[in-house]
Amino acid sequence: MTTSRRQLLHLGASAAGLMAATSASAAAATGAPAPLYAPRLRPGDTLGLVSPANATFEREPLKMAIESLQALGFKVKPGEFVAARRGPFAGTDAQRAADLNAMFADDSVAGVIAMTGGSGCNRIVDRLDYAQIRRRPKFFGGFSDLTSLVNGIQRQTGLVTFHGPVAVSEWNDYSVQSFRALVMNAEAAVLRNPVVKPSDDLIVREERISTLRGGKAQGRLVGGNLTVLASLAGTPYFPDCRGALLFLEDINEYIYRIDRCLSTLRLTGALGQVAGVVLGRFTKCEPGEGYGSLTLDEVFDDYFGPLNVPVYRGAAIGHIKRKMTVPVGAPAEMDADAGTVRLLQPAVT
């Protein structure tokens, strides 16, 4: 029997509707806003380039960031204040928030990406026009200090946002493939580390996964930079962790500070609510000065061991060259033994 194009479109729409209804029901059960999906980005679309965090102090990084986005196939619209500076920030709080709100209001802009991380996003997370973002859902992405905004937007609107490269990141083959699969091709992809073959060694030493507690779990993906996430605790912009898959990463923090941030998540009750944990890279997180330090292994065992949920460490998430794009708010299944996260449906429409 031959199926007509109209029938195929009807079947596709029915399936999409069923997935949306299932996601909405799951969200209602946890008290989270129903997931809202942005349209996929396509070659030729215009990306709005904003700097919600640190200033870019030289002209060349901004030029290279624009060239990278153009090489991905996009037109680029820099925000009015993308090259502004006030102290370490890319302009005043009002200017940085205004740029982001303007991009969501601009119908010619298909998506919004941050220039760089740093600090300052917490200063503007309460200045965003969330009603407008709900009316005009678009791709929004970044990592590091952008953890504040990708989680804040997701919590306030339900929009699935993306923890992934900023414009100034190195857009290597792995990072590009991950970004395109999720954001442009609308794939229900499996997120896994790049395969690196040992060049002159008996074993693989790069991109390794270690399983702290095996098993599989399903839930909405939430998380990002641990330090920034902990700073949101107790605010309306902290993610709903009930039944969630929590992913974490950090950089340049003494181990005692990692311990302190995890204790904050435990004391808020968030850790006790998660269905599983994915630990990315904790780059240059080393012992501080003093009489001694716990190791990261010991800290992670102390906080995640008692949870009795699947946990694995070493995911390609964080301040590293080859980084995966992770959709915040999207339903997924993690496999702590395989070291993978499988999306249960596309993260864009």
- Tens of pLDDT, residue by residue over 279-291, are 999 999 999 887 7
- Whether 18 shows a pLDDT value over 70: the answer reads no
What mean pLDDT is predicted for residues 300-311? 98
Average pLDDT over every residue of 89-111: 98
pLDDT greater than 90 at residue 168: yes
- Catalytic position from the list 23, 144, 148, 178: 144
**Active-site residue, from 23, 178, 231, 249:** 249
Asked if 249 is an active-site residue, the reply is yes
pLDDT interval class at 340 (50, 70, 90): very high
Mean pLDDT for 335-349 is 98
Q: Helix, strand, or coil here: 341?
A: strand
For the record, the structure tokens of 199 come out as 């060049």
Residue 127 — φ and ψ, nearest 5°?
-105, 0
Q: Angle at Cα 285 formed by Cα 140 and Cα 122, nearest 5°?
A: 35
Percent of the chain beyond pLDDT 90?
86
What whole-number distance in Å separates Cα of residue 327 and Cα of residue 259?
Answer: 26
Q: What pLDDT score was predicted for residue 290?
A: 74
The rounded distance, in Å, linking the Cα atoms of 292 and 182 is: 43
Task: Flag the least confident range among 1-15, 251-265, 305-319.
Answer: 1-15
Q: In which order are the strands placed within the sheet that holds 139-142?
A: 75-78, 46-50, 111-114, 139-142, 161-163, 326-328
pLDDT band at 17 (very low <50, low <70, confident <90, very high): very low
H helices, E strands: number in the chain: 9, 14
Indicate the helix (H) or strand (E) that contains 195.
none
Supply the pLDDT for residue 34: 84
pLDDT score of 263? 98
Q: How far apart are CA 136 and CA 108, in angstroms?
A: 11
pLDDT tier at 2 (50, 70, 90 boundaries)? very low
Reported confidence tier of residue 9, pLDDT bands at 50, 70, 90: very low
Residues 271, 274, 280: CA angle, nearest 5 degrees = 80
Q: Which of 94-103, 193-202, 218-227 has the lowest mean pLDDT?
A: 193-202
Whole-number Å distance between alpha carbons of 254 and 262: 13
H or E segment and range at residue 261 = helix 255-267
Q: What percent of the chain has pLDDT over 70?
A: 91
Confidence of residue 32 (pLDDT cuts 50, 70, 90): low
Mean pLDDT of 189-202: 92
Higher per-residue confidence, 306 vs 31: 306
Q: What is the mean pLDDT of residues 311-318?
A: 98
- Provide the 10 A C-beta neighbour count for residue 154: 28
Q: Give the model's pLDDT for residue 31.
A: 56
Residue 20, pLDDT above cutoff 60? no
Q: Strands across the sheet with 190-191, in order?
A: 190-191, 340-343, 331-335, 216-225, 245-251, 276-283, 311-313, 210-213
Report d(CA 10, CA 346) in Å as an integer: 18
> 93: which residues sit within 8 A by CB, 6+ positions away?
120, 123, 124, 127
pLDDT at 212: 98
Rounded distance between C-alpha atoms, residue 345 and residue 347, angstroms: 6
Mean pLDDT in residue range 139-149: 98
- The pLDDT-based confidence of 198 (bands split at 50, 70, 90) is confident
Residue in 51, 178, 319, 333 annotated catalytic: 319
Q: What average pLDDT does the chain have?
A: 92
SS (H, E, C) 20-36: HHHHHHHHHHHCCCCCE
Q: How many residues does the chain have?
A: 349
* Residue 67 confidence (pLDDT): 98
E strands, the chain, are: 46-50, 75-78, 111-114, 139-142, 161-163, 190-191, 210-213, 216-225, 245-251, 276-283, 311-313, 326-328, 331-335, 340-343
Distance CA 344, CA 146 (A): 25
Residues 6+ apart with CB under 8 A from 345: 19, 23, 188, 330, 331
Query: What is the predicted pLDDT for the residue at 291?
Result: 77
CB burial class (10 A; 0-12, 13-18, 19+) of residue 215?
A: middle
SS3 label, residue 174: helix
User: In this structure, what token pair is assigned to residue 267?
Assistant: 């004391």
| Rounded average pLDDT over 74-97 | 98
| pLDDT > 50? residue 3 | no
Dist. CA 183–CA 160, nearest whole Å: 11
Provide mean pLDDT across the span 32-48: 92
User: Residue 144 catalytic?
Assistant: yes
